[in-house]
Each structure stands twice: as C-alpha cells, then as structure tokens.
Amino acid sequence: MLTASELGDYIESRLTRSAFRLEVLDRYEVAADGGDFARYLAGEPDPDYERKQPWLDQLTAEYEAGILNHRVHVLRTPLSDYLRYECEWGYLLNARAGEEIHIIDLAEQPEPEGLVDHDFWLVDDRYGLRMYYSPEGRFHGAEPVDDIVSYQYARDAALAAAQPFERWWNRHPEEWRANQPV
C-alpha cells in the first residue's frame, strides 16, 4: 500500500503522456488543502494561493509539455458543501491551468455500465492505482493493480458518459456558493 507521498512519487516517476483520475466520493479529507475548505466555509474570497499556486503551475507546465491530465467525478446534485468547494476552488482553477475535468451527475443520468465503485488513477494508460479511503474520505493508501484492462474500460465508460465540467457547472448556478442561502 502506497502512502500519499509514495503515491505522488509513483505517478511522477511514470507520467510521460497522461494521468486520469476517477473520483466517486462526496468528500475528501485532505490535509494538503491547507485549511482551504474551512476558509471556503467561512466565506473567504479565495484559496491560499501560496499553497495552491505550485500545483496550478505544475498542471500548466504539464499541459504545455503535452501531458494530458484529466478526471471524471461521479457525483449527485444537490452538492455537499465539500463538493461545492471542490468545484469552485479546485476544478475551476485546475481547468484554467490545463486539466480536463468532467462530471457525471447521477441526478441527471444513470450510472454508466462498466464504471467501478472506487477512486483510481490510470497513468500513461499502463499503470493503474486503486485508491482506498475511509467512509469520511480520509486517504488510507493506494495500491498498484494488475488488471489494467478493467480500469481502462472504466475510464472509457466514464469519459463517454461525462460532461465537461465548465459546461455542467454553468448549468448549475444554484450550486455556486454565491447563490447559497446564508
């Protein structure tokens, strides 16, 4: 089982063309957010860019180098506060930095056939990593998988069924923090 640090090293050492991430949880408890979720809930206008900017710079550099970073998040509206935060302070910024983000909203469509019920990474279409989380969304570890074909199939099914994030987000202004009841 790989730790968060080992997971980052694993991906970085193998990434040359593409990194795909499937996300299926409604919440992730991530210490690396630097308290941004609490800032978001408190009504702060922006994330901590001193912490966030290196990640955005990395996404931009990889985009400019021709590396495709893309993900699909399977979710259901109405969104939890965490997913609203993830969309506004994560996905909007990541997309501007070059990441392709897609959404499958299970309130709008059925779950596509072939999707797996857990998070995973697929790196360069050759290396699969199954992600393990607690019920609260705390990362427990990642495990390289041998059955890469089922993860390729799940990725293809997810991408075929998903909508581009920005188009989906623009259709859901009721989910924007600015439009939430106080």
- Give domain status of residue 100, yes or no: yes
> Across the chain, how many H-helices and E-strands are there?
7, 7
**Mean pLDDT, 10 residues at a time, over the chain (182 residues)?**
95 97 94 88 94 95 98 97 96 97 98 96 98 94 96 98 98 95 78
- Give domain status of residue 117, yes or no: yes
Helix (H) or strand (E) holding 19: strand 18-23
Identify the three-state secondary structure at position 62: helix
- Give domain status of residue 153, yes or no: no
- Give domain status of residue 26, yes or no: yes
- Determine the pLDDT at residue 30: 80
Dist CA 139 CA 5 (whole Å): 11
Dist CA 152 CA 115 (whole Å): 10
- Give domain status of residue 78, yes or no: yes
Q: Is residue 145 within 8 Å of 121, Cβ to Cβ?
A: no
- Determine the pLDDT at residue 181: 84
- Determine the pLDDT at residue 32: 76
- Determine the pLDDT at residue 89: 96
Tally of domains in the chain = 1
- Give domain status of residue 118, yes or no: yes
| Domain boundaries, position 45 | 17-127+161-179
